[in-house]
Amino acid sequence: MTTQAIKTTTMTYGQAVCDGMAVEMRRDPTIYVAGEDVGMFGGGLGVTLGLIDEFGPKRVRNTPLSETAIVGHAVGAAMAGLRPIAEIMFDDFLGIVLDELGNQAAKARYMFGGKVAIPMVLRASCGAGIRAAAQHSQSLEAWCAHVPGLKTVAPSTPVDAKGLIIAAVRDDNPVVFLEHKTLLNIQGEVPEGEYIVPIGKAEVKRQGGDVTIVAWSAMVAQALAAAEALAAEGVSAEVIDLRTIVPFDKEAVLESVAKTNRLVIVHEAVRTAGFGAEVAAVVAGEGLDLLDAPIVRVTAPDTPVPFSPVLEDAYLPNADKIKAAVLSLL
């Protein structure tokens, strides 16, 4: 018996997100994209470039410069039976739409006893590293994680970006889809056609036995680089990419910690109340006897993101800081 090889294409992370949206839009005419300049200009960072050529302006809709209008209309459209993919340029602007997202989209299914679904995706760029300063560089996944009813995903690779955007579009609940700015142009092999990465499933990116490193989004690459450097010193690090923030795959983390007995959590968001604190609390609460050392977090400091290139580089977690954290446990 033979199995047919999966055909893949090399594309960037941004192209993978776009390809996933196009796959779904061809399959389901109720799916459409809306946001500032998502048509001819491909949105704020070019991710939707080319969609309007295939699907036209009725399904790739430019909106006014109003995040409230973008997300508010998407909530209503989803309740009425459509499946909108709304784009706001930066997750820094989530504060503008907290009512529409947190009070309406997240709660409607619960408040109506399951009689209404909210199949909408809210896409936003996140993260620092491109000198965009304090108001356009934050990582606010913990804001979304705190609201029951929202799912939140943050892929780290092109293949996961496509698989997760398709899964998000097919979900009957509101999903916040975070695309890190520094990842948009990285390239990778991506399956052609329909390809789904399940929401809520982490992935072991590297096997190891001495320490578990949990990361997501842009920090996965830094964790893998740290693991490579540690291997040269005889330390075997296991790297887990959460991929999904909510629901969080605690089983994968606990299984890894049971093997390594040490845990380092890495995220780009500021330290206080970052989602890493939730990961640490779950492991401490459900797997304290698995640990041979304290849980360590490697995060950004509790300050706004600096504009100065030198300060921004110092602000961001990186492979060297992760390596030092691991060595402190050993």
Domains of the chain: 8-191 (3.40.50.970), 203-329 (3.40.50.920)
- For 239, other C-beta atoms within 10 Å of its C-beta total 28
Identity (one letter) of the amino acid at 69? A
pLDDT at 104: 97
Asked if the model's pLDDT at residue 1 lies above 90, the reply is no
Question: Is pLDDT of 270 > 50?
Answer: yes
Residue 244 to residue 164: CA distance in whole angstroms: 9
At residue 8, does pLDDT exceed 50? yes
Mean per-residue pLDDT over the chain, rounded: 97
* pLDDT greater than 80 at residue 149: yes
Report the percent of the chain where pLDDT is more than 70.
99
Q: What is the pLDDT of residues 195-230, one digit of tens each?
A: 999 999 999 999 999 999 999 999 999 999 999 999
Q: Tell me the average pLDDT across 100-129.
A: 97
- Which regions of the chain does DSSP assign to beta strands (E)? 8-12, 31-35, 60-62, 83-90, 121-126, 151-153, 175-180, 187-191, 203-206, 211-215, 237-241, 244-246, 263-270, 296-300
Cβ atoms of residues 176 and 126 within 8 Å: no
pLDDT bucket at 2, cuts 50 / 70 / 90: very low
What are residue 133's phi and psi, to 5 degrees?
70, -175
For residues 316 and 194, give the distance between their C-alpha atoms in angstroms, rounded to a whole number.
35
Q: Look at residue 174 and give its three-state secondary structure.
A: coil
Query: pLDDT of 43-83, one tens digit each?
Result: 999 999 999 999 999 999 999 999 999 999 999 999 999 99
* Per-residue confidence (pLDDT) for residue 306, from 0 to 100: 98
Supply φ then ψ for residue 306, to 5 degrees.
Answer: -70, 155
- Looking at residue 4, its pLDDT comes to 59
Helix (H, G, I), strand (E, B) or coil at 141: helix
Would strands 211-215 and 263-270 be described as parallel, antiparallel, or unpaired?
A: parallel
Question: So which residues are the catalytic ones?
Answer: 136
Tokens 């490579």 — which residue? 228
In this structure, which amino acid lies at residue 324?
A: A
Give the pLDDT of residue 6.
85
- pTM for this entry: 0.96
> Regarding beta strands 83-90 and 121-126, do their DSSP bridges make them parallel or antiparallel, or are they unpaired?
parallel
pLDDT (0 to 100) of residue 3: 45
Give me the pLDDT at residue 178, please: 98
Supply 44's token pair: 């704020």
Tokens representing residue 171 in the block:
């979900």
For the chain, give percent helix, strand, coil, nearest 5. Answer: 40, 20, 40
**d(C-alpha 253, C-alpha 22), whole Å:** 33
- Token pair 């010193």 in the structure block, residue: 233
For residue range 289-303, what is the model confidence (pLDDT) as tens digits? 999 999 999 999 999
Please give the DSSP secondary-structure letter assigned to residue 7. Answer: P
